[in-house]
Amino acid sequence: MASEMYFLILLGIFKISLRPTRKRHPVSTSPIPSALPGVVAHAMVREVGLRDGLQSIATVVSTAHKIEWINAAYAAGQREIEVGSFVPARLLPQLADTAEVLAHAKTLPGLVASVLVPNFKGAERALECGADLMVVPLSASHAHSLANLRKTPDEVVAEVARIRALRDASGSRTLIEGGVGTAFGCTLQGEVAESEVLRLMQALLDAGADRVSLADTVGYADPASVARLFGKARALVGDRLACAHFHDTRGMGLANVYAAWQAGITRFDACLAGIGGCPHAPGASGNVTTEDLVFMLERMGVATGIDVTALLALRQRVAGWLAGETLHGTLWQAGLPQNAAPAALREAATA
Ligand SMILES: [Zn+2]
């Protein structure tokens, strides 16, 4: 009797553990790079639509709508949001309300609210406003750096050292992320040498950045170049390379994310509805699309903590505020596959 029950229990366990993977998900979720067998892989998707997206389009979204966006993204499970940029309002009127939007984001428990700061003055404001993280952009392309920031890359490194000293003197806990842009080339200069990207990334850390990220600002990367550069960068600085930022300008955004994931990266920037663009290519798509990226990761068995159905609903709301703007992304057109909701995929991955 006892052995029969034991057998039935075993059978029950066997059934429970196999049912979700076998019947509902014929596509294997097994090639997941995780530390231990059976441990579920996780990734963080950082929403940058309110900064990278909105700064590149003409429509100015109201502060009330930005707050609605942040609340809905938070409710959907997003826990890292770049809420704006501390740049002069005359340069980017779309982001003039960053301090107000940040103040609201800080009221949401557990949300990491970041801002972009192009210089020391912006960093002062980020510290005053208590941002959790500030991203200081550096362009690895000398020509792009001079055109966009009016500084050489090494002058930006020196600025980061001053920002670090200011942060430490203020006793603030705001993290500093050095964002190395045009890491795969740029429209002004063409090629950017990998050795130069790696040198500047290390220089940012030596100057006091807490961590660094690599960005394909203009959509020049491909999965092979991503695997190569991120592999070398990880070998050099390990987990201090904290994020990958891809634009989908030429349709390779998600493929590039996958290549970076394979290289060990677990945080990715993305824009809801793929908004944004490229100043040199009118109509071009912006960052990788948040909802498509979350769907891809969950489909791979990588937990993001984000409800993609809620993201699709939010996309519709945001689309209503951006009438006339070109939106991007693919998932919203076809919808989720039947019987393959991401929640079910998570369940399968943990079984
Ligand atoms: Zn960008």
pLDDT tens digits, residue range 106-141? 999 999 999 999 999 999 999 999 999 999 999 999
Interval 164-187: pLDDT, tens: 999 999 999 999 999 999 999 998
| 20: Cβ contacts below 8 Å, ≥ 6 apart | 344, 347, 348, 351
The span from the CA of 67 to the CA of 46, in Å, is 16
Residue 32 has pLDDT above 80, yes or no: no
Residue 3 has pLDDT above 50, yes or no: no
Q: Identify the band that residue 2 occupies on the pLDDT scale cut at 50, 70 and 90.
A: very low
Interval 59-98: pLDDT, tens: 999 999 999 999 999 999 999 999 999 999 999 999 999 9
Residue 16 has pLDDT above 90, yes or no: no
Distance 339 CA to ligand 1 centre (A): 34
Distance 217 CA to ligand 1 centre (A): 5
Q: Which amino acid is at 283?
A: G
Closest CA to 134 of 152, 120, 155: 120
Q: What is the DSSP string of 204-244?
A: HHHHT-SEEEEEETTS---HHHHHHHHHHHHHHHGGGEEEE
| Any domain includes 300 | yes
Residue 20 has pLDDT above 70, yes or no: no
pTM score of the predicted model: 0.86
Domain of residue 300, CATH code: 3.20.20.70
- The tally of domains found in the chain comes to 1
Mean pLDDT over each residue of the chain, to the nearest integer = 88
Range of 241's domain? 37-350
Q: Identify the band that residue 284 occupies on the pLDDT scale cut at 50, 70 and 90.
A: confident
CB 98 within 8 A of CB 91: no
Q: Which of 129, 186, 271, 278 is catalytic?
A: 278
Distance 124 CA to ligand 1 centre (A): 22
Q: Which residues surround ligand 1, an ion (CB under 5 A)?
A: 52
| Any domain includes 259 | yes
| 155: Cβ contacts below 8 Å, ≥ 6 apart | none
| Any domain includes 7 | no
Residues 36-41 have a mean pLDDT of: 63
3-state helix, strand, coil in the chain (%, to 5): 50, 15, 35
Q: Identify the band that residue 4 occupies on the pLDDT scale cut at 50, 70 and 90.
A: very low
Distance 99 CA to ligand 1 centre (A): 21
Closest CA to 204 of 149, 150, 114, 139: 139
| Any domain includes 328 | yes
pLDDT at site 25: 33
| Any domain includes 301 | yes
Distance 17 CA to ligand 1 centre (A): 42
Distance 49 CA to ligand 1 centre (A): 9
Residue 347 has pLDDT above 60, yes or no: no
Residue 278 has pLDDT above 70, yes or no: no
Distance 25 CA to ligand 1 centre (A): 34
- Active-site residue 129, yes or no? no
Q: Which residue has the higher pLDDT, 69 or 277?
A: 69
Q: Which residue has the higher pLDDT, 306 or 30?
A: 306
Q: What share of the chain in percent tops pLDDT 70? A: 83
Exposed, middle or buried, 269 (CB in 10 Å: 0-12/13-18/19+)? Answer: buried
pLDDT at site 345: 54
Distance 94 CA to ligand 1 centre (A): 16
pLDDT at site 281: 63
Residues 27-53 have a mean pLDDT of: 71
Helix (H, G, I), strand (E, B) or coil at 51: helix
Residue 255 has pLDDT above 80, yes or no: yes
A 10 A CB-CB count for 47 gives: 28
| Any domain includes 16 | no
CA angle 312, 252, 47 (to 5 degrees): 40
| Any domain includes 297 | yes
| Any domain includes 75 | yes
Distance 345 CA to ligand 1 centre (A): 30
